[in-house]
Amino acid sequence: MSIENDFILANDYEKKYCFNLFNPAEVAFEHGKGVYLYDTEGNKYMDMIGGIAVNSLGHSNKALTKTIAEQSKKLIHCCNYYVIPQRADLAYRLCKLSFADKCFFCNSGAEANEAAIKLARGYFFYKGSPRRTIITAKMSFHGRTLGTINATGQEKFREPFGPACPGFDYVEFNNIDALKEKIDNNTAAVMLELIQGESGVNPATAEYVKAVRQLCTSNGILLIIDEVQTGIGRTGKMFCYEHYGIKPDIMTLAKGLGGGVPIGAMLSTNEFATGFEVGDHGTTFGGNPLCCACGITVLEEIESKNILDNVNEVSKAIVDKLNELKVKYPVIRDIRGKGLLIGIEFAELLSAKEIKHSLLEKGFLVSAIGTSVIRIAPPLIISKSEAMKFISALENVLKAKK
């Protein structure tokens, strides 16, 4: 029997040989189809978290598995010494779909944000008037590298791993006066998520984002929007910034872009692309033919299957039903988010971890944030009737806890 079919052994090795970082639930998945995952015992689960907004096309999407199979037979990796047509094509498509003129590919969200921070600083350096500070929001999340834990406006992510890296400042989210006060002549950029996904699905207000855009423009500093979680259709538009009627100067992407293969991207306008000269930045794996071919397939599927319409329709059905539940079950305190990135906040007497656990027992996967928020970020291809099954499971959990 191989370890893949032996859960007890896998669980044992996981505990013995993997760093104890994730505290995984005692379940291992063997395969998936659409919004469903099947564990090694043959049990079926509805995947309402989609690998944390990663499995945008669902599991074992036909087009994506075909791309992976075909591209892997031709060329998986090729170094940056040569032209990579898949990289060129994906960059072209992302630029056409967005405000951007230039695109850099890497392997993760944190790396995309690292590139954004470097580009902003490089821009002022090459202009001959260096500015170093990046202002980010409290309760933000920008990644786990030494740079991005310092960009992240949450002390708990950096405290054990100090010294703190200079060049970052934090302001209260959705408070324009706090930002006005912080900007000085060393400020290079403001970096924001439009929906703070990792700290409880907290959206920026429309007035705030418009005011931040104006403030950045009038001070000649860059606006970096971290769309690692919100990008590529997650919120019902290709990019979340489109909801706000603004354009960033730099945008970062990752999670949903590859439909499951690791890929990140940092995009900017031509003006700010001057922050990098040849050799200033790089990557071994970033922009490889396999991952870029997958990114192209994800974009093609979103367009040809009208996935954005599906996101908006299913989102509305979920939010309407959640609002009905909120009336029936006052333990539901708040429903937040956009598209298929939704946070459900519960009153203190009901812990999010408990709800997550009860849902898992019923065969539904969600994530719990802090003590009170359940986040859902299912594959963008989820149907209304599938989503309604989740809603009734949630209602059953709430009924049982009443």
Ligand X SMILES: *Cc1c(COP(=O)(O)O)cnc(C)c1O
Which residue ranges make up the site for ligand X (CB under 6 A)? 108-110, 113, 141-143, 193, 197-198, 226, 228-229, 254-255
* Rounded Cα–Cα distance for residues 147 and 135 (Å): 13
Closer CB to ligand X, 122 or 197, in the complex: 197
- Cα(227)–Cα(118) distance, integer angstroms: 17
Nearest distance in Å: CB 268, ligand X:
17
Take residue 130 and report the two structure tokens written for it.
């260096």
What phi and psi, each to the nearest 5 degrees, are found at residue 347?
Answer: -65, 160
Q: How far is CA 339 from CA 31, 103, 305, 335, in A?
A: 26, 25, 17, 12
Q: Which residues pair with 341 in a beta bridge?
A: 338
For 201, the token pair is: 């699905």
* Block residue for tokens 């689960």: 45
- The two tokens of residue 154 are 């949450």
Q: Which residue is nearest to ligand X (CB)?
A: 109
Q: Which is nearer to ligand X, 199 or 310 (CB)?
A: 199
Task: Let me know how long the chain is.
Answer: 402
φ, ψ of residue 286 in degrees (nearest 5): -60, 135
CB of 218 to ligand X, least distance (A): 26
For residues 16 and 280, give the distance between their C-alpha atoms in angstroms, rounded to a whole number. 40
Q: How far is the CB of 243 from ligand X (least distance, A)?
A: 16
Alpha-carbon torsion, ordered 155, 156, 158, 162, to 10 deg: 90
Least Å distance, CB 140 to ligand X, is 8
Nearer to ligand X, 24 or 130 (CB): 24
We find the least distance from the C-beta atom of residue 193 to ligand X, in angstroms, to be 5
Helices 289-304/62-74 angle, 10° precision: 150
- Between 197 and 259, name the residue whose CB sits nearer to ligand X: 197
Measured CA distances, 93 to 66, 238, 311 (Å): 20, 12, 21
**Beta carbon nearer to ligand X, 144 or 210:** 144
Q: Cβ of residue 298: shortest distance to ligand X, in angstroms?
A: 16
CB of 130 to ligand X, least distance (A): 26
Pick 84 or 265: Cβ nearer ligand X: 265
Our CB check for ligand X shows the closer of 196 and 315 to be: 196
Angle between helices 352-361 and 384-401 (to 10 degrees): 120
Which residue, 90 or 397, has its beta carbon nearer to ligand X?
90
DSSP 284: S
Q: How far is the CB of 286 from ligand X (least distance, A)?
A: 12
> How far is it, in rounded angstroms, from Cα 323 to Cα 315?
12
Alpha helices in 331-383 (DSSP H): 352-361
